[in-house]
A and B are shown apart, each in its own frame.
Chain A
Amino acid sequence: MDLDPVLLSRIQFGLTVTFHIVFPTMSIGLAMLLTVVEALWLRTKDELYLRIYRFWLMIFAMGFGVGVVTGIVLSFEFGTNSATFARLAGPVIGPLIGLEVLTAFFLEAGFLGIMLFGMNRVGPKVHFASTFLVALGTTISASWILAANSWMQTPAGIEVQDGRFVVTDWMQVIFNPSNLYRLPHMLLAAYISAALLIAGVGAWYLLKREYLDFARRTFSMGTGLLSQFIAAQLFMGDTMAVKMLPLQPSKFQAMEGYWDPTPTAPYLLVIAPDQEAQTNRFQFGIPYLGSLFVTRSLHGTMPGLEETTPNNQPPMGAVFYAFRTMFLLGLVLFAAACIGIFLRWRRRLFAARWYQKMMLILAPAGLVATVAGWYTAEMGRQPWVFYGLVRTADAVSPVSGASVLSTTLLFAGVYFVFLCAFLALTIRVIARGPADAPATPLYAGPVKRGLATDPALVLDGGKSS
């Protein structure tokens, strides 16, 4: 059997990075929300905020743990699976990731311990500072990673000398043409994802008529934040799409699903692309809307993928459907946010059970849209690993297909266990309810009480030690 290490390595990286990105997205968003909630608690002394903090901290802690261990894998896969990638890009994006570790990871890792276990050791002010620094750390981390990934999308600031990349201008490498659009897009995606999770859990309790004060506060917070973030995100996404068109034409051509440049184009919803024949065997769309979205006129011309030579084309189907998933989910969330604003204005937010059901179903929508967005970005960049410079197929390691296959299967198994455990424990935390999250801060006692969920341990507080 002939195993293709290029394809297998891409599958392995795809698997590990897809699994990973869900967790940092959650962490970035939840860390920001936890900072806000703890600030509200310190300001208002309302214990409900502390209960919300403790409850979401438990889920944040588990998600952060999974995010850390799955993230380290990626930084080593650059070398194990993509040696040529590492040799070429190491001098360019290596320092960026190095700065990420130095400016963000150590900050997060150090203060995470205090955030999770230190409430009873350092006092509320230092504890709040720790929460804030963890949130800041996740954001700085995202900034460096987006800088590195954006450089792969739109390389700048280097020249090629003897087959090596030599950086001529670090500012151009870091602030490469796409970074400043993609970073806020990703941060907003994380905030939206977290707002949806919080609204979804609030909706669940509202529907079950349990923990009503907690449910109302979080549902209101979640839907309120969602409506602000999603509005900003639609604007941001649109701005980015317009800026990316000249920078990465082939990605944009594949996103819209057309092979030939088409005037007065419908907005395609379903296509059956045939990459060999360079045509869609079937397509269905809404008349005029495509031209309207892309060119801002009813008769404008949509770009087509045939404008890119076939050996430089990304796979049409994957890019198109990934983009459609993200964009249509974005529109659904915008509609949900508008309904939320309307219900709030009519004072029916906590009465409209159909809306609570809707928000419960939409709870994972932010994470799904984020993954779909990354698929659009990464599949759309193909066949290049550094757009226009180096092909993905030329970036792999001299390792055997059998090694890659066996570790890929192992990763799939291991990550499946992590996913099941994470979901099972999260569902248990939700089922047990926020009543178990201690309502009074403990400033003495053993570490475990900081995160204990066993009611007996929580209720006796620090008294028994």
Chain B
Amino acid sequence: MTLPVLAFLVVIFAVVMYVLLDGFDLGVGSLLLTSSDEDERDAMVESIAPVWDGNETWLILLGVTLLAAFPLAYSTVLPALYLPILVMQMAFGFRGVSFEFRFQTTRYRKAWDIAFTCGSVVAALCQGLILGAALSGIPATDGHYAGGAFSFLSGFSILSALATAAAYAVLGAGWLHARTTGEVQRKAGRNLRLALASFAVLACLAAAYMILNDGPMGDAWHARRMVFILLAVGALLLWALGWRSIGKMPVRARVYGMALITVFLVGIVVTVWPYIVPFSITIWEASAPSGSQLLLLIGVAVMLPVVLVNGIYVYWSFGREPPRAVNPS
């Protein structure tokens, strides 16, 4: 009975790592065109170029953990979210190749920058749609998805898409604010305020929707009201701390932003628990035979420390000096 819980913890860990890490890449991508200066854009892309690939790998880990440990969830959720998942993949494609291609061309660099931004924004919006659709509940009968091709689309999922894009902008602007200097850093501070403000509005709307909802989301609110109130207080505190640190303590501003997003992820887990396909299949019902979960967990236990040390080393070796200062002030 504990193996599925441990495997679920791996799923949660992968989600949190993915959102915090690739979230800032996608955020930086979304903010790329806020600068019209090519050197500034180069500095923005260069700050994430050495690490984005590793960041995106957490999404693959999430996918295969579901496939290996919760095959029933994988085979129900993915067909349900067919269109946003595949459109997200194409957006990832544009974002990913733009990294390598923009370095090789001067004349078409602007075109690849546009592809980069569109890819990042569309990927963020698709992930928000996926989250919104999942929280609205995915109907399944006998382990098969039982909805339509466009069931993922609803007012709430659109709200969730916008909130996700804003969350990633918080992370992206926080990263740039902490990791760059000069004009890029100053602009990132301004963008961070904008992103924090819009995220606050969108998150409050989503919370209001949840409280007024008479479906399973509303039930979750009524059942675990104290937990949600505590999380909300924490989020408010972190938001205010983040806001105050902008400009003065850039690294802290970034850390508060990351903590804020993490609190929301915890809130999402509290909402869906113990379902892995929200409100139709629990983690125990979706579990693979224990041998499969065990092999995966052994792999995770052995390799995760290596992966983390490796990742920290890469961040450290590129973080010792910030990428080139543009127009140092």
Contacts and interface: CB of A to CB of B under 8 A. Distances in A.
A343 B76 CA distance: 60
B77 to A, nearest CB: 7
A297 B299 CA distance: 49
Contacts of A410: 86-87, 90
A145 B65 CA distance: 16
Nearest to B92: A69
For the residues of B in contact with A, the DSSP-based class is helix
Interface stretch (B24-32, B100-108, B169-177, B205-213): B100-108
A259 B118 CA distance: 53
Nearest to A402: B149
A79 B63 CA distance: 9
Nearest to B288: A91
Contacts of A422: 97, 101
A97 B67 contact: yes
Nearest to B55: A109
A94 B89 contact: no
Contacts of A268: none
Interface in B22-75: 42, 46, 49-51, 53-54, 56-57, 59-61, 63-72, 74-75
A97 B64 contact: yes
B92 A72 contact: yes
Interface string B85-120: 111011011111101110111100000000000000
A66 interface: yes
Interface string A79-119: 11001101111111011011111110111111111101110
Contact of B82 (A105, A397, A453): A397
A451 B103 contact: yes
Given A62-B101, A78-B67, A397-B82, A101 B60 contact: yes
B85 A80 contact: yes
A414 B95 CA distance: 12
A454 interface: yes
A99 B143 CA distance: 26
Interface string B284-324: 00001101100110011001101100110110011010011
B290 to A, nearest CB: 9
For the residues of A in contact with B, the DSSP-based class is helix
Interface string A124-157: 0000000000000000000000000000000000
A403 B78 contact: no
A416 to B, nearest CB: 12
Contact of B78 (A76, A91, A111, A453): A76
B71 A407 contact: no
B96 A113 contact: no
B100 A113 contact: no
A75 B64 contact: yes
Contacts of B83: 403, 407
A172 interface: no
Interface in A269-326: none
Interface of B: 42, 46, 49-51, 53-54, 56-57, 59-61, 63-72, 74-79, 81-83, 85-87, 89-90, 92-97, 99-101, 103-106, 143-146, 149, 288-289, 291-292, 295-296, 299-300, 303-304, 306-307, 310-311, 313-314, 317-318, 320, 323-324
Interface of A: 58, 61-62, 64-66, 68-70, 72-73, 75-76, 78-80, 83-84, 86-92, 94-95, 97-103, 105-114, 116-118, 121-122, 164, 166-167, 170, 397-400, 402-403, 407, 410-411, 414-415, 418, 421-422, 425, 428-429, 446-448, 451-454, 465
